[in-house]
Structure 1
Amino acid sequence: MFDQASSSTATEIVQNSTFERFARTGYVVSGLLHLTIGYLAIRIALGTSVGDADQSGALSAVAAQPGGIAALWVAALAFLVMALWRLVETAVGRSTARKSQRTASEVLDRAKAFALAVVYFALAYSTFGFARGAGKSTGEQNSDISARLMQTGLGTVALIAAGVVIVAVGGYHIYKGAWRKFLDDLKGTSSDLVRRLGTVGYVAKGLAIAGAGVLIVVAVSRTDPNQATGIDGALKTLGAQPFGAAMLIAAGLGIITYGLYSFAMARYTKM
């Protein structure tokens, strides 16, 4: 547990306006990545791209542009600051209206903050890799990890559990979007545009995440680690179905919508 001095220091960090503003840029960078992923998904649907429609594909696309490497270093730093912000929030709670939170609600908020910290640390690590020119395809990494885990019974169980958890995370995103629970995370009264962007964006992203989790379970059941390729695999599997191109375009537009909503989060999220 944090002692009083450590808690006070962490609180000062949370309340630092400069640190907060920089942390919020993490949402902007996340939004840009989602826009790129959605764009790549649409290009794959139209047959004009064979790249990966996921985080690694988006980072690779950015790295290939003039000034892309510098942009990736900035993005990696923004993700790192966001991760640190969420880690501090895990320790001391959210800086906005912390005293008004019920105990159970505060515990849940801190648990979600820790989960987000892990996600942003992973994003920062991955982005640093592409900034250094050592980035790897997320799909290939997932397949390699799945292959190693499938070699043991315990690893297989862990992989199935991971797939179920990912499906649950996707389901939570769908629930959060369809029932507009994301509005609880925002300051003030949201506009109709923000509500629509959040609804469509969360549902679309939730479906993509859930699809990735389903592919992991399918890969285990068929003993085929090559099918456990994450969001890129889920989107490409969707594209291979009847009317798949149209559905993949719709999925890409949905992910782009989430990216646009991320810009709203950069301004209005409670921190």
Structure 2
Amino acid sequence: MESITTSIPTILPSPAASLKAWARVGFASIGFVYLVLGVLATMAALGVRGSDTPNQQEVFQTIQHMPLGQVLLWLVAGGLLGYVAWRLAQALLDTERQGAAAKGLAFRGFYVFSGLLYAMLAFYAAKIAWYGRLPREDDASRSALRSVLHHEYGQELLALVGLVVLSAGAIQVYRAWSGKFDTDVQHSPFSYAQRRLVYRMGQVGYSARGVVLLIMGYFCFMAAQHANVNEIRDTEGCFQALEAMSPDVLGIVALGLVIYGVYMFIQARFPILRGL
């Protein structure tokens, strides 16, 4: 009996190992969401969907209509929470060793901001999975932003949100072209040619994601300047802005998001998770 009880701790995974596994599921969930989003946006650019650009709600609707769609939605929601847990570990445990100086705290604050965004996405996916259908659109997010504008410093707060999103977009583009992202995927399983391909995929994917965030941040900032919450644009509004430039521009960014989704699958399979 004693030998059995003493062997249990070695059988059960450690908290760090569990978090690593959960984070990997999170990377795969993000990859799946971006893959679906990119495919729908590519179809819009090609005219397959007419002029309808996809939004967040339609991405989950598409997943819901897949075989075992409800199960997939729950897996996506759970996986996104794994990504949130990893981001919070980066921020609170300082696994990236950013430190407590101003620059380090800024990066750790960004990890928290990123985690909160994906927590909201996980909640939305779980809500659809729970009801088994798309809940009636109540425009709660826009109502919340409208209440922010009614605050004494509402315009300043909304402008700050816009600047944070703009900064997040700029960071994505910077990571893409500085190669900073390349430290998140293992190189040893790949040949030189494969490493170069994965690197280029990361550059394209992060750039496309950065462009979408920059557009979102711009519209949010302008909404604060004009005190008009209706100027805020979600993913669909960003795609519409790109399509107004040219369907080719929309197509390039959409394909970039598809590539980003595939890149996240690669990161899920061969991650580098520091400090865990």
TM-score bin (small chain):
0.7 to 0.9
Counting matched residue pairs gives 252
Structure 1 Cα separation of the partners of residues 104 and 226 of structure 2: 39
Does 2:217 align with 1:213?
yes
- Write the distance in 2 (CA, Å) between the matches of 1:231 and 1:210: 11
SS in 1 for 2:153: helix
> Which structure 2 residue ranges, 5 or more long, are not aligned?
1-12
On the 8 A contact 1:185/1:270 being kept in 2, the answer is yes
- Stretch deviating more after TM superposition (259-268 or 145-154): 145-154
The residue identity in structure 2 corresponding to 1:170 is G
Matches within 5 A, 1:61-140: 61-94=62-95, 101=97, 103=99, 107=104, 110-133=108-131, 135=134, 140=139
C-alpha contact 2:19 2:85 (8 A) present in aligned 1: no
Instruction: Tell me what 1:173 maps to.
Output: 172
User: AA paired with 1:87?
Assistant: L
Task: Name 1:186's counterpart in structure 2.
Answer: 185
Contact 1:57–1:137 (8 Å) recurs in 2: no
List gaps (5 residues or longer) in structure 1.
1-10
- Residue identity (%): 24
Query: What TM-score does the superposition give when structure 1 sets the normalisation length?
Result: 0.80
Deviates more, 1:39-48 or 1:182-191: 182-191
Deviation of the 1:36 alpha carbon: 1.0
Contact 1:90 1:113 in 2 (8 A): yes
Aligned to 1:159: 158
Distance 1:157 1:197, change over 3 A: same
- Cα distance in 2 for residues equivalent to 1:140 and 1:255: 26
1:87 offset after TM fit, Å? 2.7
> 1:267 aligns to what?
269
Q: Distance in 2 between matches of 1:214 and 1:236?
A: 14
Provide the C-alpha distance between the structure 1 equivalents of 2:51 and 2:66, rounded to a whole number of angstroms. Answer: 18
Alpha-carbon spacing, 1:172–1:126, altered in 2? closer, same or farther (3 Å): same
Whole-Å separation in 2 of the counterparts to 1:143 and 1:116: 20
Q: Which has the larger radius of gyration?
A: 2
Paired amino acid for 1:114: V
> Cα distance, 1:256 vs. partner?
0.9
Distance 1:213 1:131 in 2: 29
Q: CA offsets per residue over residues 73-114 of structure 1, 9 Å max, x none?
A: 1111112233223334434343xxx7xx57469955654543
Report the counterpart of residue 22 of structure 2 in structure 1.
Answer: 22
CA contact (8 A) 1:37 1:255 kept: yes
CA contact (8 A) 1:143 1:229 kept: no
Comparing both chains, which one has the higher relative contact order based on Cα–Cα distances under 8 Å and sequence gaps of 6 or more? 2
TM-score by length of 2: 0.79
Deviation at 1:181, TM superposition (A): 0.9
Name the aligned partner's letter for residue 77 of structure 1. Answer: G
For each residue in 1:137-160, what CA deviation from the matched residue of structure 2 results, as whole angstroms up to 9, or x when unmatched?
999454333333333441121111
